[in-house]
Amino acid sequence: MSVLARNNVKVTGTSAQPMLFAHGFGCDQNMWRFVAPAFESDYRTVLFDHVGAGGADISAYDRTKYGTLAGYAEDVLEICRELCLERVVFVGHSVSAMIGVLAAVKEPERFDKLVLIGPSPCYINDGEYVGGFSRRDIEHLLESLDDNYLGWSSTMAPVIMGNPDRPELGEELTSSFCRTHPDIAKHFAHVTFLSDNRADLPKVKTPSLVLQCSNDPIAATVVGEYVHRQLAGSKLVLMKATGHCPNLSAPRETIAAMKAFLSV
């Protein structure tokens, strides 16, 4: 099976410079439907699904390969090689922000800029580092997810989305979580929430934008500020948008911040 079929890759736009969008945990490329079209006239936009999500080929899932975020980063690079993408603007949401960081560290010459939305290099508090959760918090979260993935999804998705005054957003995220293959989602959750990519941040040489939402229950402001400090020459934008998914809840603000960064 080709790389493009494996990851359900969709390409639009005819401009030379590519913009590659990578979705977060429990989501698929449909989560970019309010953001990606705004860039189609100026970029060759590339969307895909991580293996186990959306329309990606589930038979390609390998627990060993995807036992670390490096396996997902390798998929990103394989897509880039298959499409001969250079000077890539990588846009990663949530865990895919770190996936993009790993890809850019491995092949820095391939990437022009990184847009990291709600990034967290480590979710667990460690000494002076504040990730937002104790180890027991994460263990409890993963235990709950393992015991009842659908129940966990219906409870946690609205919390992750935030914006309780717009319940339809939480309902959409819940539906997205529930469409993801539960066994793969459970494994991906363990990989995501137990990962520690703090040491990778200083290795990034690609100009980066950190988009940090207000009242983000997954990646708090202090985490975004940490990522910004560790990425040399990066720009941090503190958004008015609340929750963890501004690509859905505040696409206009997300687009505006991205365009301001990319125009420099």
Angle at CA 147, nearest 5°, toward 145 and 148?
Answer: 70
**Residue 183 host element (H or E):** helix 182-193
Q: 163: how many CB neighbours lie within 10 A of its CB? A: 20
Told to judge if 244 belongs to the known catalytic residues of this protein, a careful annotator would answer: yes
Q: Annotated catalytic residue: which of 23, 28, 75, 94?
A: 94
Element (H, E) at 242: strand 235-242
Told to judge if 57 belongs to the known catalytic residues of this protein, a careful annotator would answer no
For residue 229, give Cα distances in angstroms to 43, 119, 222.
29, 13, 11
What does the DSSP 8-state code read for residue 130?
Answer: -
How many residues are present in the chain? Answer: 264
Find the catalytic residue in 93, 96, 244, 249.
244
C-alpha radius of gyration, the chain, whole number: 17
Q: Among all chains, which residue has been given the structure tokens 């390409």?
A: 11
Q: Which of 49, 75, 200, 216 is catalytic?
A: 216
Angle at 184 between CA 58 and CA 137, to 5 degrees: 160
Answer positive or negative: Cα dihedral of 10, 158, 256, 252.
Answer: positive
Query: Phi and psi for 122 in degrees, rounded to 5?
Result: -160, 125
- Catalytic (active-site) positions: 94, 216, 244
